[in-house]
Structure 1
Amino acid sequence: MTTVVTESTGARARQTYFWRVRNGRTKAPAGSAEQSWHIQPGHPGGAYSDVGHELHPTVHHTPTLLSRTPPSGSRAQPEEFRGGCLTCNWEGPVRRGRGSGDGDNEVVEDAHDHAFPGWRTLPSVVRVADRWEVPGDRRRWARLSALYPTGWVDDGAPILVRRRFRSEVHAPPHRRRLRYELRIEAPIGRAKRATDQGALF
């Protein structure tokens, strides 16, 4: 008789379950952990924990990226991805791809649609060099972030940058940039908005 394992939903609960499987604390084989939904390493909430997640989630929706290897175990099959939230049990639709901008970018955008509806209208950073300079320069960051909706900067709304190539991967937050850097396509046939460069910097 086959036992059906029901996983909890929500990014935080799924991450806890992943580590419990990986550490042999469930009936599932430890080697099958990658087949359960878990937070992609490097994305918010992806730290090690098999003793449970925080009792008190953040007060604002926090996007993250869930992934898993398909249960077939075939390396030829694409991975599965879905957006998640560290505050509530919301999970986005499942998308398949190879990662590195194929499948994973779409779910990060789904998660931002959940956490920051309308994020696509935020001003973007155009020059590649400004990707690193703007968040670290208080004056320039203040000018850019003043155009964000009230409260979004404190809640970790993304910084938008023009992508250099089609499948450039969205960058998760890290110690020097505490928000996602979403790489977006430049508008076609549209003049630069005043928010793009000169007016800000």
Structure 2
Amino acid sequence: MTISIKALAGGAIAAAALLGASAPANAVLATSIRISSGIGGGDWLQIGELQVFANGVNIALASNGAIVEGSGSWDGMSTADKATDGIISTSFPDIYHSDGAGTSERLVVTFTQAFDISDIVIYGRSDDGIERNLFKYQLYLLSQPGEMLVDAGLLDARSAPYSASVTLPTTPAVPEPASWAMMICGFGLAGGALRARRGNMRIAAA
């Protein structure tokens, strides 16, 4: 029985490719999220519910320890806590409605710790101002000496059912270290196979 180095190399490279293709994408590590208007120049902020998931758990829920604050509310009923109370509503006053329409209007949710964020879901308003349901999200990681922006994007909920979502990350994943090791091993064996072919070498196996 003879086994060529080239065959071994081919198997190693195939394994490396398989590992690289199946390596899971790394989620985005963050400690807080900021929601603002995605419309140029800003607009009223109207949020029915904000959900941020890590390992299948909505970490934006106030009942899960998240802290929510807004730039200001339209009245005493449409306060910031309406956006993280776990009740999905898209009608006033059971939503968060900002008290202004500028670029500084925002909703900020701070998590209990740093989490690997996998998904963000937002619900806008359905009974009025549907054109305002374009949101900008920004994820931050608390570091020293301050916060670092780790991801950002737009969520367009201007069409029925007036919700939008994103799965993170939005960029391709980097191969895992194990995949790199297999690839390097495969390339090394491939080089050895080429040299063996030139010398017509064979590895005999009992």
Query: What TM-score results when the alignment is normalised by the length of structure 1?
Result: 0.27
Higher relative contact order (CA 8 A, sep 6+): 2
